[in-house]
């Protein structure tokens, strides 16, 4: 990934936070069948390994788990949000007219080595953790025990676990940091006005950091 210095995000805690808050990742593999991409939710354990461990599962019918071998290098892409930036939102544009459109976004690329975990205990643990995480915001959280045990056992047999040891993290937060503070704020406020809250708030925060030096 091309990452100019002013857009680089290298703090492990910030990268892990983005991955946890936006766990639906794109798994990119290059196996016997060539390049492939699968879109699946991940469970991150930042305390395991040197840079964290990602755990997930795929349908047994999905060929990806047979297309790759244990130890193969893979890439998982996590995207927080993105937004189109109009040059009209920059105050300086109305003075110099020297601005063009762009696109802002926040992403993390997690490089690692994959291990296929085709065992019931691992898969059950992944499903249980993902369920607890995403049901916690529901008024009446669903639990695995809500379904008949034999039904859950059958469903678990239909999926295969994946474990990825992260070996390298790349982060990019493109928030117009290469612009004047007033232009960053102008675009950030325009995004908030149209409902693009995440990028808008991140841009305003980046303007504050730039202003403080």
Instruction: Please tell me the CATH code under which domain 5-86+102-177 is placed.
Output: 2.30.110.10
| Closest of 96, 92, 107 to residue 178, by C-alpha | 92
Residue 158 pLDDT: 97
Secondary structure E strands in the chain: 24-31, 34-41, 43-45, 53-59, 73-85, 102-117, 159-174
| Confidence category of residue 93, pLDDT binned at 50, 70, 90 | confident
142 and 127 Cβ atoms separated by less than 8 Å? no
Q: Above pLDDT 70, what percent of the chain?
A: 100
**What pLDDT, on a 0 to 100 scale, did the predictor assign at position 212?**
87
Q: Is 198 exposed, middle or buried (0-12, 13-18, 19+ CB in 10 A)?
A: middle
pLDDT score recorded for residue 207: 95
- What average pLDDT is seen over the chain? 96
Cα 35 from Cα 56, distance rounded (Å): 19
Task: Output the pTM of the full model.
Answer: 0.94
The pairing of strands 34-41 and 73-85 is unpaired
Percent share of the chain, pLDDT over 90: 94
Domains of the chain, residue spans: 5-86+102-177
């Amino acid at each position: 990934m091309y990452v100019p210095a002013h857009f680089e995000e290298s703090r492990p805690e910030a990268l892990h936070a983005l991955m946890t808050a936006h766990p639906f990742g794109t798994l990119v593999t290059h196996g016997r069948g060539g390049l492939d991409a699968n879109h699946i939710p991940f469970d991150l354990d930042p305390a395991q390994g040197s840079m964290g461990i990602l755990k997930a599962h795929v349908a047994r019918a999905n060929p990806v788990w047979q297309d790759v071998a244990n130890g193969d290098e893979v890439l998982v892409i996590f995207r927080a949000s993105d937004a189109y930036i109009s040059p009209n939102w920059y105050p300086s544009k109305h003075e110099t007219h020297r601005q063009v459109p762009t696109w802002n976004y926040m992403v993390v690329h997690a490089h690692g080595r994959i291990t296929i975990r085709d065992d019931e205990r691992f898969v059950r643990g992944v499903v249980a953790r993902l369920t607890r995480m995403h049901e916690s915001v529901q008024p009446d959280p669903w639990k695995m025990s809500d379904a008949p045990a034999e039904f859950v056992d059958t469903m678990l047999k239909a999926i295969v676990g994946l474990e990825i040891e992260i070996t390298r993290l790349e982060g990019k937060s493109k928030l117009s940091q290469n612009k004047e503070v007033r232009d960053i704020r102008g675009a950030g406020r325009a995004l908030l006005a149209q409902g693009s809250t995440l990028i808008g708030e991140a841009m305003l925060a980046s303007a504050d950091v730039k202003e403080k030096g």
